[in-house]
Amino acid sequence: MFVSIAIASFIFFVIWLTGRTGEQELTRYTLLFHKDVSGLSVGGPVKYMGMNVGSVVMMDLERVKQAERTKELEPVEDPEKTKAVKIRVDIDVLDSTPVDQGTFASLALQGITGVAVVNLESEPGRHSALDVLPGRDYPVIPVKIVGFSALMSSAPEIMSKLNNLLTQAGKILGEENQSAIAGTLDNIESLTTSLAEERESIAAIPGNVNATLGDIQATVRQLQGMISDLQPGINSTVENVNRSSENLASLTGRVDALLRDHEKDISHFMEDGLAEAPALMKETRQALRDLEKLVQELQDDPSQLIYRQAENSVEIEP
C-alpha cells in the first residue's frame, strides 16, 4: 500500500509539474542552443510567459556541416554561433500554446538552485505559423539569450576586458610613468609659480586688449569716412566706365557694319592687292640699291651735280 501510494503520488506530482493531463495533445519543437545550457535537463519544465506548457524530452549534441552554416535561422550577431557544434533540445508543448514565427525561446534560472527552465515568449503582432525546415523533423523555435542568462554568458568577456583594463592601468602606474607624471606635476607647479609672479602683467592684458580694440574701432571709422568721401568719385568713375563701354560697343557695331558694307572690296584687296606685295617689295629694294649707288657716286665726286665732262673733250695742259 505504501509503495502504491508513493507511485500514485509521483504520477500526480509529474502531472502537476507539467501542468497537463494525458488527454491533452502535444506538439514537438526543436531548439538549437549555441551557448552553455547548464542547469537544463531532460524532463525540465517549459513555460510560456511563466505558465507550465510542456517539458524537455531530449537533449543531444549536433554537429553542423559546413554547407549548413550559411543557412542560419536568424542573423549571426554572435561569433559563438559560428561553432561547429550545437546543442539540440526537443520539447513537447501543449497544442493550445500559441507558437508561431514570432515566438522565441530562452533559458531562465529557477530560484537559487541553478535549475534552468525553457521560457517561451512571443513578439507583439500577428505572425505566420512555423514550418518544418528541410533536414529537420520538427519546427525550430529561434533561441535568444536574454535577461540574467545574457549577463552570465557575457561575463567572461566582461572579465577579460576588465582584466585588460587593469593591466593597462598597472602599466600606466609603473615606475617609469610615475617619474614622468611627477615631472609633469613639477612643470605644472613651475608654470603656476611663474604665472603668479607675472600676475601684474597678466592683469594688465585686458586693459591692453581694450585699448587695441579701441584703436581698431577708430581705424574702422576712418576707413568708413574715407569710403564715404570716395563714394561720389567711385560712382562717377563707374559711370565713365559704363559710358566708355557703351561707346566701345557702338564703335564695334560701326566697324562690323563697315566690314559688312565693304566686304567685297576687302576680299578683292586680300586676293589681288596682297598678291602684288612681293613684286612691290622687290622693286622697292631695287630702287633703294640704285639710290644708295647714286649717293655713293655723289660722295665721291660732288661736281657731277653742276658739271659733267663731255665724252669727246680733250684735256690741254696749262
pLDDT tens-digit map of 158-169? 777 777 887 777
Mean pLDDT for the chain? 77
Element (H, E) at 289: helix 277-300
Quick count: other Cβ atoms within 10 Å of Cβ 59?
Answer: 17
In this predicted model, what pLDDT tens digit does every residue of 65-80 receive, in sequence order? 544 444 444 444 444 4
| Closest alpha carbon to 57 in 78, 26, 34 | 26
| Rounded-to-integer distance, Cα 148 and Cα 13, Å | 29
Pick the more confident residue, 188 or 109.
188
pLDDT of residue 2: 87
Pick the more confident residue, 268 or 23.
268
In this predicted model, what pLDDT tens digit does every residue of 286-306 receive, in sequence order? 888 888 887 777 777 666 655
| Rounded-to-integer distance, Cα 229 and Cα 245, Å | 25
Taking residues 209-219, report their average pLDDT.
Answer: 88
Taking residues 214-224, report their average pLDDT.
Answer: 88
The overall pTM is greater than 0.75: no
Angle, in degrees to the nearest 10, between helices 175-197 and 199-261: 90
| Rounded-to-integer distance, Cα 218 and Cα 236, Å | 28
Q: In what order do the strands lie in the sheet with 51-63?
A: 103-110, 115-122, 45-48, 51-63, 85-94, 26-33, 140-141
| Closest alpha carbon to 119 in 58, 46, 56 | 46
In this predicted model, what pLDDT tens digit does every residue of 189-202 receive, in sequence order? 888 888 777 777 77
Specify whether the CB–CB gap between 106 and 149 falls below 8 A. Answer: yes
Pick the more confident residue, 244 or 148.
244
